[in-house]
Structure 1
C-alpha cells in the first residue's frame, strides 16, 4: 500500500498543543517575574505596597519568604497557561481556518485566499479568546490567589462579633484554595473577573493580529527579495515583543482591575473608608449580598482614579510589560519550533502507520 501523503499543515488540535507547550515553556522561564508583577498589581500603595520595583520585590520575597515563594502557585499557573493557550490556539485555528475556507469558496477555482486584514485578525482573535476565557478562568482565579497569598477578608464579610481580621495559617494547595472559594462564594466565585477577562480578549487579539500582520509583510518582502522565506527565531522574538508591548499598553488598566478582583484585594480596597477619621470605627453590616459584594472592573478603576489619578491605572505596568514581553516573545519563538517538531512527529507517525499496514 502506498505511503500516505505527508501533512503540510497542523490540525487545530496539533497547533493548539504546540502553542500550549510553547506557552508553558515561556511562562516557566519567567515565572518569578510573574509572581512579582501579580503582587504589585494586586495591592494598592495604601496597603503597604510601596516598593513597586519588580526586581526589588523579588529580592524581598526571596529574603523574607524563601525561594519557594517565588514559585507559589506554579502548578496552577502551568495548568492555567496550558489550558488557556491550548483553548485559545484550538479555537483560533478553528475560526481562522473556517473563515479562510469561507472566503476561498467565493473565489474562482484555484485562486489563492488573500491575506486577512488586521481587523479580521483582531476579530478572530477576540472570538477565540472569549471562548478560551469562559472555559479556563477558574484555574486563573485559583492561580492568582496562590501567587498573592491569603488576603484578609473585608469586615463586611466577617461575623458581626469578629475583632481579629488577621489571616490565619491555612492550606494554599490548589484544591484547598478551590474549596475555600466555593465555600465562601459558591461555584460562581471561580468565575470572578470573567467580565474584565472577556474585555481583555482584545489583548491576545491585538498581539496575534499585529504579529500575523507584520509577519506576512516581512515574509512578502523576503519573497520579493528572493531570500529565505522562513521566519528566524530572532525575527519572531522581536515581532512578538513589539506586538505584546502594544497590546499591554492599550489594555493595562483592565489587566490591573482583573487581578485585584480575582485576588479579592479589590474587596478590601472597597471597604476602605473615604475619610481617615473613620478608620477607628468601621461600619460592619450584618448581612452581605454575595452577588453584590464584589466590585466590578469599572468600580475598581473609578476608585483608583479618585485616589491616585490616571497614574494609578498603570501601577505595575513596567513589571507587566517586562514579564509579558519576555514570555510572549519566547512563546512566539518556541511555538514555531514546537510546530515544526509536532509536524515532524505527525509525519513520522503517519509513516509508521503506513508501514505497519
Structure 2
C-alpha cells in the first residue's frame, strides 16, 4: 500500500465536503443547462429566477434533489482521481528523481486519472443528473412536487427503461472533458510549485490556487459540460432534441438556441466549480494527515512506509 491510498481517502473526504457545501449551485446550474425552451411559462429566466422558482415550488429540499448520489459520486470520483493521479505522479518522480512534475507530466497524470475516473463513475452522474431534473418535470406534469425517488430506485429505473448501456450516456463528451481536470490540475501544480519556491503553502493558498485553476478549466470547457449534461438525460424521441454525438449536440444547440445557448447556467456553474475546487483542495490537504493516521490505525502504515 502506498501514499496514493491516503491521497485517495483525503480526496474522497474533500469531495464530500465540497459537494455538500456547493450542491444548491449544482442544482440551479444543471436545471439551466438542460432547459431547451426559454419561452415556456415555467422556464427559468436566469440563475436567481431558477433559485426562486425551485424554492417556491419544491421547497429548500428541491435544491438538494439527488444529493445522495452526488455525495457518493463526489467521494468515488475524487477518490479514484487522486489515486490514479498520485500513482502516475509518483512513477514520474521516481523515474526523473525530481520532487515535482513538469507541465507535460502533469498533463499526462491528469489525462490518465481523468479517463479512469470517467469510465468508472459515469453511471453515478447519469443517475444524479436525472434525479436533479426529475423533480421539476414531476411538478410540471402533475402540478405538485413529489418526493424524489431514491438513488437505487432511479438506478434500477434507468436500467429497466433504457438498458445497462444507458448508464454510460454522455461518456464521450465526459472523456473529452478530461481536458478540464488536465487544465485544472496542471495549472494548480505549476502555480503551487512556483509559490513553494518562496514559502510553505497554507490552507488559504490551497483555496486560492484551487479557485484560479478551476476558473480557467471551466471557462474553457463549459459548452462540452452543457452537452454532456443533456446527453445524460433520457433521450427525447424528437429528432431535433436527440443528440447523436457531441458535434451533433453542439450543432443543434447553436441552431435552436444560438451561441448563448452553449453557456446557459455558466454563472452558477463557474461559482460552484470555483468554490468546489477551492474547498476540495483546501480540505483534501487538511485531511491527508488524518488519512495517514487512519491507515496507521488499520495497520497499513508499516506497508505504506516500506513502499516509499
Verify same fold: TM over 0.5. Answer: yes
Q: CA deviation at 1:22?
A: 0.5
Pairing 1:260–2:209 present: no
How many residues are matched? 297
CA deviation map 1:29-78 (0-9, x unaligned): 11111111111111124473743432331221111111211111111111
Q: Secondary structure at the match of 1:172?
A: coil
Equivalent in the alignment of 2:22: 30
Against the structure 1 CA distance between its residues 190 and 151, is the aligned structure 2 distance closer, same or farther, given a 3 Å change threshold?
farther
Against the structure 1 CA distance between its residues 268 and 334, is the aligned structure 2 distance closer, same or farther, given a 3 Å change threshold?
farther
Larger Rg: 1
Q: Secondary structure at the match of 1:295?
A: coil
Q: CA deviation at 1:93?
A: 1.1
Equivalent in the alignment of 1:57: 50
Q: CA deviation at 1:267?
A: 2.9
Contact 2:29 2:268 in 1 (8 A): yes
Equivalent in the alignment of 1:101: 94
Q: Secondary structure at the match of 2:236?
A: helix
How do 1:234-249 and structure 2 match up within 5 A? 234-249=204-219
Q: CA deviation at 1:240?
A: 0.8
Equivalent in the alignment of 1:281: none
CA deviation map 1:274-328 (0-9, x unaligned): xxxxxxxxxxxxxxxxxxx752221111011112332221111111101110111
Equivalent in the alignment of 1:80: 73
Q: Secondary structure at the match of 1:140?
A: helix
Contact 2:92 2:105 in 1 (8 A): no
Contact 2:30 2:133 in 1 (8 A): yes
The match for 1:147 among 118, 132, 150 is 132
The match for 1:233 among 168, 182, 203 is 203
Pairing 1:115–2:97 present: no
Against the structure 1 CA distance between its residues 151 and 305, is the aligned structure 2 distance closer, same or farther, given a 3 Å change threshold?
same
Against the structure 1 CA distance between its residues 244 and 254, is the aligned structure 2 distance closer, same or farther, given a 3 Å change threshold?
same
Contact 1:20 1:85 in 2 (8 A): yes
Q: CA deviation at 1:12?
A: 1.1
Equivalent in the alignment of 2:12: 20
Contact 1:151 1:167 in 2 (8 A): no
Equivalent in the alignment of 2:116: 131
Q: CA deviation at 1:24?
A: 0.6
Q: CA deviation at 1:230?
A: 2.3
Equivalent in the alignment of 2:306: none
Q: Secondary structure at the match of 1:327?
A: helix
Q: CA deviation at 1:170?
A: 8.9
Q: Secondary structure at the match of 1:86?
A: helix
Against the structure 1 CA distance between its residues 95 and 47, is the aligned structure 2 distance closer, same or farther, given a 3 Å change threshold?
farther
TM-score (normalised: structure 2): 0.88
Equivalent in the alignment of 1:331: 280
Against the structure 1 CA distance between its residues 92 and 352, is the aligned structure 2 distance closer, same or farther, given a 3 Å change threshold?
closer
Deviates more, 1:62-71 or 1:335-344: 335-344
Contact 2:7 2:82 in 1 (8 A): yes
The match for 1:176 among 153, 168, 187 is 153
- Distance across 1 between alignment mates of 2:300 and 2:264: 54
